[in-house]
Structure 1
Amino acid sequence: MNTETPDVHAWLTERVAVYLRRTPAEIDTGVPMAEYGLDSLTALALSADVEDEFGVVLSAETTWDNPTIDALSEVLGTLIEEKA
């Protein structure tokens, strides 16, 4: 787990880009991730990545309820702060 203050938005953008086989610069963080083709299996994988990186549990439902990187990074940032 990263012990420094994480840049959650940048990290999420990079992870989504990896799943999409694109560069982070190609990702519009205000566009729903489903519009890029991310599905429920990817949401589960992304949730597991979040737990591995930040030590917080993020349900796949949370990913779907916050469909953009912008929205999801806010929720994740709050969860990380609450854990600290």
Structure 2
Amino acid sequence: MGPQLLLDTTHLMKYIDAMGEAMQARAAAAPVDRRARAVTEFVQRQHAQIIDLGVALGCAAFTMGVVIGVMLLLGKH
């Protein structure tokens, strides 16, 4: 088993994709109000943006850790 990322979002993306497919199937089976559809699409976009924000914050934290670690190592000599 390989190392896992601290912020593993694959299960979240699979859940969001499955939720979207289920909503599309229901929309095809029965007419859906335009407002309800707009709300579900908005929620899906917000989920994707939150996941993107989490990944960006994780990358920034990792980079800051590397920079601070290098600074500490260079400061000891």
Q: By the TM > 0.5 criterion, same fold?
A: no
| Larger RCO, structure (CA 8 Å, separation 6 or more) | 2
Whichever structure has more helix as a proportion of its residues is 2
Larger-gyration structure (1/2): 2
Q: TM-score, normalised by structure 1?
A: 0.29
